[in-house]
Amino acid sequence: MQRHGPWGRAGAYAEVCPPELPLIIEKIMESGRPLDSAIVAVDRALRAVFAPAIAARGIPGPSSSADPLPEPDRRESAALMRVNHAGELAAQALYHGQALVARSASTRAMLLSAARSETDHLAWCEARLKELAARPSLLNPLWYASSFAIGALTGLLGDRASLGFVAETERQVEGHLDEHLGRLPESDTRSRAILETMRSEEIAHGAAASAAGGAQLPPPLPALMRATARIMTRTAYWL
Ligand SMILES: [Fe+2]
Ligand SMILES: [Fe+2]
């Protein structure tokens, strides 16, 4: 009788395992500290998804003691800020994934510093959601895990591609924030101030990545990134 290992019948693991996963694992092993890298990655993921984000800077804009929003405005603002919160979490995951497999220490340091600066954005969106009596996306663990995998896969293409990916991501985030600034209720000046500050900082992140040597991404990657982001933004609006 054929004996099966812990993964069931032979080849079952290969069927559920993305073909790129062995490459990511190989890269981690090459670092010489695979266990350290894995523990750090898990620790970053758990903190990002489950621990309250702590901002180094206060929330931009007017104080929260402003008049409460009319109920329809509150609901619309809450849905939009839930999307932005999920987006900021995904940005952290992309940077964490890219940093895990970055080839040079300087690129890794830049990616981790960019992730830290996104923590303020995450914390502002989280705080604003609380003020709006709304919850973050229920699918945040999924957004983090999928973005982390995309970041790590991109990082495997090399540091120039990785930095180019950051520049393209930030360009798309800028376009997304422009759209949200157009949809945000007029009465919600507090969320507007947060998004405007985030927008100007995302532009700076993208410019820094290009200046550090980011390569232009070839088609159809930018369109693919846009399509993936659309799935997240449309789902997180409701969930
Ligand atoms: Fe951000
Ligand atoms: Fe950014």
pLDDT tens for each residue of 29-88 = 555 565 666 677 777 776 677 677 777 788 887 776 666 888 999 999 999 999 999 999
In this prediction, residues 210-218 reach a mean pLDDT of 85
- Digit-coded pLDDT (tens) for 98-151: 988 888 888 888 888 888 888 899 999 999 999 999 999 999 999 999 999 988
- Digit-coded pLDDT (tens) for 179-205: 999 999 998 999 999 999 999 999 988
Q: Is 215 exposed, middle or buried (0-12, 13-18, 19+ CB in 10 A)?
A: middle
> 30: helix, coil or strand?
helix
In contact, 93 and 144? CB cutoff 8 Å: yes
* Cα 171 to averaged position of ligand 2 atoms, centre (Å): 9
Query: CA 63, CA 231: separation in Å to the nearest integer?
Result: 33
- What pLDDT, on a 0 to 100 scale, did the predictor assign at position 185? 94
Contacts of 108 (CB under 8 A, 6+ apart): 99, 102
- Digit-coded pLDDT (tens) for 140-173: 999 999 999 988 888 888 888 889 999 999 999 9
* Cα 159 to averaged position of ligand 2 atoms, centre (Å): 17
* Cα 133 to averaged position of ligand 1 atoms, centre (Å): 22
> 56: helix, coil or strand?
coil
Q: How many CB atoms lie within 10 A of CB 108?
A: 18
* Cα 24 to averaged position of ligand 1 atoms, centre (Å): 25
Ligand whose nearest atom lies closest to the CA of 195: 1
* Cα 101 to averaged position of ligand 1 atoms, centre (Å): 21
Q: How confident is the model at residue 224 (pLDDT cuts 50, 70, 90)?
A: confident
Which of 135, 136, 132, 112 shows the shortest CA–CA distance to 205?
A: 112
* Cα 93 to averaged position of ligand 1 atoms, centre (Å): 12
* Cα 38 to averaged position of ligand 1 atoms, centre (Å): 25
Q: Where are the alpha helices (DSSP H) in 17-102?
A: 21-30, 34-50, 71-101
Ligand whose nearest atom lies closest to the CA of 123: 1
Query: CA 70, CA 132: separation in Å to the nearest integer?
Result: 11
- What pLDDT, on a 0 to 100 scale, did the predictor assign at position 87? 93
Query: CA 178, CA 22: separation in Å to the nearest integer?
Result: 38
In contact, 190 and 61? CB cutoff 8 Å: yes
* Cα 118 to averaged position of ligand 2 atoms, centre (Å): 6
Q: Mind listing the domains of the chain with CATH numbers?
A: 23-55+68-238 (1.20.1260.10)
* Cα 34 to averaged position of ligand 1 atoms, centre (Å): 29
Residues 200, 202, 204, 206: what is their CA dihedral angle, to the nearest 10 degrees? -150
Query: CA 202, CA 166: separation in Å to the nearest integer?
Result: 10
Q: Is 99 exposed, middle or buried (0-12, 13-18, 19+ CB in 10 A)?
A: buried
- What pLDDT, on a 0 to 100 scale, did the predictor assign at position 198? 94
DSSP state of 158: -
* Cα 200 to averaged position of ligand 1 atoms, centre (Å): 10
- What pLDDT, on a 0 to 100 scale, did the predictor assign at position 36? 65
- What pLDDT, on a 0 to 100 scale, did the predictor assign at position 181? 95
